[in-house]
Each structure stands twice: as structure tokens, then as C-alpha cells.
């Protein structure tokens, strides 16, 4: 079924009707949220009686139109399912976030990024229109120029605090059957950042076209950019879903780039198999363990469930206590740093935070459209810096979340922003200044006047 706009009373799908009925069943004044089987959030959530809305009928791909290069997808459709529908047609979303179970609606309301973001921006920038369930219990259609344009612009980074997308029409692009990659080594972080500037400006490097770019920092004198280009080349392709681990394939000595060929499918999910490098915490990269670890369990959703289980039972905290240590502090963050400040930020991070490797992904907004709840500056190049691990917990007299707080301060000092999918410690005034508080207040009053959804600050900082 396509998103037919022939009239305001279009027939709702079974999934949308089910969602509306589950909303109506929640007593007035009681908060609601989605009932989800999977999550890619790392924020804690306090115990709550909040009822989950029925999204079981909103998980599919409705239409893929190769002629218009668009797709109509349900809000709870995962990128894994979307890519499975588009790749056989030689198409892909403009930005495919790294983890299979991220949903299209989730990537738009919670932001997403990948190696095409230097030319295609962020996932919400490829949305043409979307249907949104608001706090008033109705579904409205939002576009860039209709009566709900304010919601269209304010939905990104709202994390379900203004409503939930039930269906989205997104742009697609043509892709090849494979991606040819070059892993280019840098011994200097300033040189690496200069190369990012060149790639963003020219979409090429050393005479070769670049369709994808991301990077990994192992230390201040060992860092890499991975440059990819679409290809229909035939021949053997690498497989990193088996015994080989993708991020280890990046490392090499010598001045020449290391080259590789992956199917487009395997390139898109290259980070998911080992959750970037985080699967090593479970022993899944040890060859003795990996040999017996079922291939179908080598995926981010499995590792996330293991983390969630540990959080529930407190095994890691009890282990630290037996060693006489406080619980370790979780530092799971993605931050956007202006390119001109990226090398300095990385030097500071490597000096102050004992986490490696670090992921890099450059991005630029596609046009001059502003998104008030995540106000990146149009025309400016940023680098997403991602780091996901734990550090020693606070000692006597030290504040909770000391490392995360220090990172927040440093990101603010260099004119950056951080994503809100994990722990945050901002004061309310600082949060409002950074994340469009004035614009958000107007949107909240308009689309959720009775507060059926938690406030964004409550969700991001207070664990509501």
C-alpha cells in the first residue's frame, strides 16, 4: 500500500488501526510508549507502569518504487528488512545505519549515521513525508511544506517524545553489487583530518572516486580511513561473518592502502557482525570461542541482549565489587565534532579516556534546511566520533558519571553535539540551549499537549 494523499480520510492499514486502538485503550493521563522487542538505546530506564503501544503491524516494507527511487516503509521496519527489499533492485537507502535492527522510524527520530553521510547527510534528510502518531491520539501527515512542517522539522532527535512515525516515504539511490574499499593508514591525526576534508570537497582521494568514508583510530599514530566506491566488479569477495573480524582487516603496515572487495550486502552490515569491536567483551573474537559461536548469533542484537541481561542481574558490578572496585562507568557515546576541531578532540580523548579503538564518520547536512532539535550548522563538515566501552568507576568523593561529564564539557567547548541514545548529565538549562529547547516547547504544546509521551529531557537525562 502506498502513502496515498488523495484525501484527509485515507484508509488506515491494519497496523495503524491496531496502534490507534492500543493508544485509545490507555486511560487518559497515563503515559504511553512503544512496545518493542529490540532496542539500540543505552539509556537506563526507571521502573514504570507505562503501557506499550501495539506496533506489531508496522514492521514491513510497503512499496519500493525503482522509477521514483523511493520506498514507503513502516516506522518499525528494520534496516535489515528494508535492505533485503531494495538490494535485489540495485537500490539502497541514502544512509543505512550500521546495525541491522535499527528501525527506519528510530533512525529518523533518534538520528543515524553511516559512511555515506559525508554526501547524503543523516537519515531524516532523505525523508519526503511521514505519518506520525501524536500525543493527541491521531495520525498526521508531515512534509517539509504542509501544515505540519514544524513537526517534520522538529521530529529528528525527538526520540519519541513528540510522537511515533507509522510510515515514511524515503529516497533511495542506485548501488552496485559490490563495494571496493581501500584502508589508508595515517600516522598523524592532522593528516587524517586533512584527507577527510579533501574527500568531502572532491568525493575522491588520490584520483579514485569515493562513495563511502569512515575511519578507525587505534592510537594517535595508527589511524585509518576506509574509502569505498560502488562497483559491479566480479571476483572473490571477503566474508567477515565467519572466523575473520572486519576491523582487524583494516590494520596494516606500509605506505600502500590495503584493498578489499565486499558484496554491498556485506559492506552495509560489516560492523554488525561484531558490533564494531564490542563483541570482544564476550570473547566472540577469540578463535577458540568463535569457532563454536553460531554464525546466526554473531550480530548486534544478540550482544545487546547480553548487555541488557548483565544490567538486570548486575553480574559485572558484583564482579567489580569482589575486586574491591566500584561499578565501572559505561561510556557509550557518539559525538559530532566540527572537522577543524577533530584532531584536537581526538588528542584530548586519547590523553584522558582509556578507550580504543575510536570510530570516525564525517557528515554534512545535505542542504540549508535546519533541524532545530539537533542544530548542526549547514555547510559545515563534522566528524562523528564514536566510542563504546567502560572505564573505572568513580572513587570516593568523585561524582557519578565523571568521564561522561568531562566528555560533554569538552564537546560543548569545541562547538559539537552528542547523540542522546545513551547516558547524559546535562542541566535542564544547558540541555535546552543545546537541543532547541524553545522550539521543542512549542512543538510539545502543539502535538502532545497532555504529556502522553515523556519530555525529551526526562527521557535523555532523567531516564523516564
**83 found inside a domain:** yes
In angstroms, the CA 249 to CA 346 distance is 22
**Do 126 and 80 fall within a single domain?**
yes
Residues 348 and 365 occupy one common structural domain: yes
Q: How far apart are CA 356 and CA 350, in angstroms?
A: 8
Evaluated on CA atoms 311, 241, 175, 383, the torsion sign reads positive
The candidate with the shortest Cα–Cα distance to 242, out of 294, 306, 303, is 294
Residue 360 and residue 357: Cα distance in Å, rounded? 10
Q: Which CATH number fits the domain that encloses residue 329?
A: 3.30.70.2520
Strand partners of residue 63: 72
List, in sequence order, every residue forming a beta bridge with 74; answer none if it has no partner: 167
Candidates 186, 177, 197, 173; CA nearest to 123 is 173
In a shared domain, residues 164 and 183 = no
The dihedral over CA atoms of 209, 215, 217, 223, expressed in degrees to the nearest 10, equals -10
**Residue 457: how many CB atoms within 10 A of its CB?**
20
Number of folded domains in the chain?
3
Neighbours of 29 (CB within 10 A): 8
CB atoms within 10 A of CB 37: 10
Question: Please, are residues 226 and 115 in contact by the beta-carbon 8 Å criterion?
Answer: yes
Give the single-character DSSP code of 297. Answer: G
Q: Which neighbouring-strand residues pair with 337?
A: 383
- Average pLDDT score over residue span 7-29: 81
CA neighbor of 17 nearest in space, from 54, 59, 51:
54
186 and 129 both lie in a single domain: no
**Cell of residue 175, nine digits:** 548501488
Both 186 and 160 in one domain: the answer is no
Q: Max CA-CA distance within the chain?
A: 66
In a domain, 307, yes or no: no
Is 160 within the bounds of a domain? yes
| Residues 275 and 319 sit within 8 Å (Cβ to Cβ) | no
Residue ending a domain, among 244, 270, 296, is 270
442 located within any domain: no
Q: Specify the pLDDT at position 143.
A: 96
Co-location of 199 and 255 in the same domain: yes
Let me know whether 133 and 262 are in one domain.
no
Instruction: Please compute the mean of the pLDDT values over residues 333-353 and round it to a whole number.
Output: 98
- Give the model's confidence band at 324: pLDDT under 50 very low, under 70 low, under 90 confident, else very high: confident
- 182/45 Cα distance (integer angstroms): 41
Work out the pLDDT band at 50, boundaries 50, 70, 90: low
Which among 319, 330, 450, 336 has a CA at the least distance from the CA of 401?
A: 330
Closest CA to 122 of 324, 315, 373: 373
- CB 220, CB 350: distance < 8 Å: yes
Whether residues 32 and 155 share a domain: the answer is yes
The DSSP string of 414-439 is TT-EE-SSS-----HHHHHHHTTHHH
Q: Count other Cβ atoms within 10 Å, centred on residue 397.
A: 5
What is the C-alpha separation between 26 and 35, in angstroms, rounded? 13
Rounded alpha-carbon distances, angstroms, from residue 142 to 132, 147, 244, 403:
7, 7, 45, 39
pTM above 0.85?
A: yes
Q: Cell 526520540 maps to which residue?
A: 159
* Grid cell of 60 as nine digits: 514491513
Least confident piece of the model among 4-13, 18-27, 61-70, 165-174: 4-13
Is residue 396 scored above 90 in pLDDT? no
Which cell numbers in the block locate residue 116?
555515506
> Is there a domain that residue 302 lies in?
no
Q: Mean pLDDT, to the nearest integer, of 191-207?
A: 97
Range of the domain at 184: 178-270
Closest CA to 372 of 149, 137, 200: 149
Question: Read out DSSP for 1-20?
Answer: -----S-TTPPPPHHHHHHH
Compute CA distances 254 → 187, 249, 261, whole Å.
11, 14, 20
User: Is the distance from CB of 422 to CB of 394 less than 8 angstroms?
Assistant: no
Q: Looking at the structure, do residues 169 and 194 belong to the same domain, yes or no?
A: no
Task: Based on the fold, state whether residues 159 and 184 are members of the same structural domain.
Answer: no
Question: Would 372 be classed as within a structural domain?
Answer: yes
- Give pLDDT tens digits for 225-270: 999 999 999 999 999 999 999 999 999 998 899 999 999 999 999 9
CATH number for the domain including 149?
3.30.465.10
Q: Which three cell numbers stand for residue 57?
A: 503491524
Decide if 276 is inside a domain: no
In a domain, 435, yes or no: no
Give tens-digit pLDDT for 284-311.
999 999 999 999 999 999 999 999 898 8
Residues 6+ apart with CB under 8 A from 282: 303, 306
On whether both 229 and 377 belong to a single domain, the answer is no
Say yes or no: 229 and 328 in one domain.
no
The domain boundary, picked from 270, 293, 327, lies at: 270
The pLDDT confidence band at residue 10, using thresholds 50, 70 and 90, is low
Q: How many other CB atoms are there within 10 angstroms of residue 68's CB atom?
A: 12
Say if residue 5's pLDDT is above 50: no
Amino acid at each position: 500500500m502506498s502513502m496515498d494523499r488523495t484525501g484527509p480520510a485515507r484508509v488506515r492499514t491494519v497496523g495503524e488501526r491496531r496502534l490507534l486502538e492500543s493508544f485509545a485503550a490507555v486511560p487518559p493521563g497515563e503515559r504511553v510508549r512503544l512496545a518493542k522487542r529490540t532496542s539500540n538505546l543505552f539509556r537506563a530506564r526507571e521502573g514504570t507502569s507505562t503501557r506499550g503501544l501495539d506496533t506489531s503491524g508496522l514492521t514491513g516494507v510497503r512499496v519500493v518504487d525503482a522509477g521514483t527511487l523511493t520506498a514507503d516503509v513502516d516506522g518499525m521496519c528494520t534496516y535489515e528488512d528494508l535492505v533485503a527489499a531494495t538490494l535485489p533492485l540495485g537500490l539502497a537507502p541514502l544512509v543505512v545505519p550500521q546495525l541491522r535492527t535499527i528501525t527506519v522510524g528510530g533512525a529518523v527520530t533518534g538520528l543515524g549515521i553511516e559512511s555515506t553521510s559525508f554526501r547524503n547527510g543523516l537519515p531524516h534528510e532523505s525523508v519526503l513525508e511521514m505519518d506520525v502518531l501524536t500525543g493527541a491520539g491521531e495520525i498526521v501527515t508531515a512534509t517539509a511544506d504542509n501544515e505540519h512542517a514544524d513537526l517534520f522539522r522538529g521530529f529528528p532527535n525527538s526520540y519519541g517524545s513528540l510522537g511515533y512515525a507509522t510510515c515514511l516515504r524515503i529516497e533511495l539511490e542506485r548501488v552496485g553489487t559490490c563495494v571496493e574499499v581501500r584502508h589508508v593508514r595515517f600516522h598523524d591525526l592532522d593528516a587524517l583530518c586533512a584527507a577527510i576534508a579533501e574527500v568531502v570537497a572532491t568525493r575522491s582521494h588520490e584520483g579514485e572516486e569515493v562513495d563511502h568514508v569512515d575511519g578507525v583510530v587505534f592510537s594517535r599514530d595508527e589511524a585509518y580511513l576506509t574509502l569505498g566506491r560502488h562497483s559491479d566488479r566480479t571476483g572473490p569477495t571477503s566474508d567477515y561473518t565467519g572466523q575473520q573480524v572486519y576491523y582487524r582487516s583494516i590494520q596494516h603496515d606500509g605506505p600502500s592502502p590495503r584493498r578489499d572487495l565486499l558484496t554491498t550486502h556485506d559492506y552495509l552490515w560489516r560492523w554488525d557482525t561484531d558490533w564494531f569491536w564490542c563483541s570482544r567483551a564476550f570473547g566472540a573474537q577469540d578463535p577458540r570461542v568463535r569457532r563454536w559461536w553460531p554464525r546466526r548469533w554473531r550480530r548486534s542484537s544478540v550482544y545487546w541482549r547480553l548487555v541488557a541481561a548483565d544490567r538486570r542481574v548486575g553480574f559485572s558490578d558484583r564482579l567489580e565489587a569482589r575486586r574491591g572496585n566500584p561499578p565501572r562507568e559505561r561510556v557509550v557515546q557518539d559525538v559530532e565534532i566540527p572537522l577543524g576541531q577533530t584532531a584536537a578532540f581526538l588528542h584530548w580523548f586519547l590523553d584522558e579516556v582509556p578507550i580504543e579503538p575510536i570510530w570516525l564518520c564525517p557528515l554534512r547536512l545535505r542542504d540549508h534546511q535546519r533541524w532545530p532539535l539537533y542544530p548542526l550548522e549547514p555547510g559545515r563538515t563534522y566528524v562523528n566520533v564514536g566510542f563504546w566501552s567502560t572505564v573505572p568507576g568513580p572513587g570516593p568523593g568523585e561524582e557519578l558519571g565523571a568521564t561522561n561529564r568531562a566528555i560533554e564539557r569538552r564537546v560543548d567547548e569545541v562547538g559539537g553535539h552528542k547523540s542522546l541514545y545513551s547516558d547524559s548529565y546535562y542541566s535542564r538549562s544547558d540541555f535546552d540551549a543545546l537541543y532547541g529547547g524553545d522550539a521543542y516547547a512549542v512543538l510539545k504544546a502543539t502535538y502532545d499537549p497532555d504529556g502522553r509521551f515523556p519530555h525529551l529531557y526526562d527521557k535523555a537525562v532523567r531516564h523516564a
